[in-house]
Amino acid sequence: MAAEPRSEVQQRTDFSRIRYAQCWEDADLLCEGLSPAGRHCLSIGSAGDNSFALLAAGARSVTVAEMNPAQVACIELRKAGYLALDHPGLLQLLGLQPCEDRLALYQQCRGLMPETARAFWDHHESLAAGRPGPAHAGKFEHYFRLFRRCILPLAHPRRRVLALLQPRDPDQRRQFYHQQWNRHRWRWLFRLFFSRAAMGLLGRDPGLFKYVEGSVADRILDRVRHALVELDPSQNPYLRFILLGHHDGVLPMALRPQHHQSIREALQRPDSFHIHPGPIESVAPPADRRFDAFNLSDIFEYMNETNSEGLLRRLLAIAAPGARLMYWNMLVPRSRPESLADRLQPQIEQADALLRQDKAFFYSRVVLEVVAGGPDPDEPPEPAKPAAEPS
């Protein structure tokens, strides 16, 4: 029997813990770029939020690829939360709203999870049912918590942080940034904390910086300026969580109240949501379909160019004509190689426009590509037809 394909990142990354307790790519951009309504989507898992956002945006089905068992447990807990709890209950379970008895909420969800996920959360009950809650339990979230508690107060008093998050027009935001925020101490502390060494030790796995060149902090600092001046901080859920430790009602797409019921109903449909506990390289679609939308997160950040091309070729083998691929570059430039120019069509103008709107501001580039040979790339597939009644 042939060995299951392995991802390059599996060979040098620790998967014994939760790395990301939330998704840190902007789901609004993802759904705008992929146009998932009516599509069969293949999605990198992480904590699951953006895979559920695809359901909220009308995906016909979502297959989630996740090779870290701890991350699979995060996805299963969210899935059970959508099925068992109302919207406030889900936020309380995750630790995104105050909760008096998170253990009781966990017990309502526990029986809806498969045995492996139950075993994980039972073993880590303090993460599932304690404070601050599962959405705070990742290494990346812990990194932001250290920034919020130990670094940010040295640069700005809390009143200034709260002032930053007040609604302003673009000129007022620019004035506030230059006069109040962009001070020498802020820049110095930011460069220190978001250096390659600090991020590798405290935030991301050091192995994920193998292909990064140049200053990590300076590139992120430039994107922070964009988020604080060109975008509206008051409506940025990712920035609010980093600075406050909660969203204060400004939620990522999958957690907005208007999407809760539609996600629940989608999860109740047969074959609408499947978790593949392995690398994306090993996913195969059902015999009667191919995938026509791919949420690839920032997966190519962790691969050399040869392996990136190899993965793209694997995905093309299971992609329908006209399928849309979307992924992010943070520090490592990756996109379709020239060897695939006849098979993947870059959507450069749309991708650049999406980047300018990106609320998850640490990424330097959005990549959007369309598989050649399909219909107009902006047109979604035909809606699913009802299955015929058995005779």
pLDDT in tens, 35-70: 999 999 999 999 999 999 999 999 999 999 999 999
Q: Quote the strand ranges of 192-318, DSSP E.
A: 273-276, 291-295
Residues 283 and 347 in one domain: yes
Going by pLDDT thresholds of 50, 70 and 90, the confidence category of residue 12 is very low
Cα separation, 351 vs 371, whole angstroms: 15
The token pair at 184 is 């020498």
Residues 225 and 265 in one domain: no
Domain count, the chain: 2
Strands 365-371, 61-65: parallel, antiparallel or unpaired by DSSP?
unpaired
**133 inside domain:** no
**pTM for the full model?**
0.89
* Host domain of residue 179: 140-244
Using alpha carbons, list the distances in angstroms from residue 242 to 96, 208, 236, 264, 362: 13, 21, 10, 28, 12
pLDDT in tens, 140-171: 999 999 999 999 999 999 999 999 999 999 99
Helix (H, G, I), strand (E, B) or coil at 335: coil
Residues 81 and 148 in one domain: no
pLDDT in tens, 292-311: 999 999 999 889 999 999 99
The answer to which of 21-30, 40-49, 300-309, 318-327 has the lowest mean pLDDT is 300-309
Buried/exposed 339-357: b ≥16 CB within 10 Å, e otherwise:
ebeeebbebeebbeebbee
Using alpha carbons, list the distances in angstroms from residue 72 to 115, 177, 351: 12, 39, 29
Predicted pLDDT at 186: 96
Predicted pLDDT at 211: 45
**40 inside domain:** yes
Confidence check: pLDDT of 383 > 70:
no
Predicted pLDDT at 210: 53
CATH at residue 288? 3.40.50.150
**99 inside domain:** no
**278 inside domain:** yes
Q: Shortest CA distance to 77 belongs to which of 34, 45, 30?
A: 45
Cα separation, 180 vs 382, whole angstroms: 51
**102 inside domain:** no
Residues 240 and 263 in one domain: no
The token pair at 137 is 């339990």
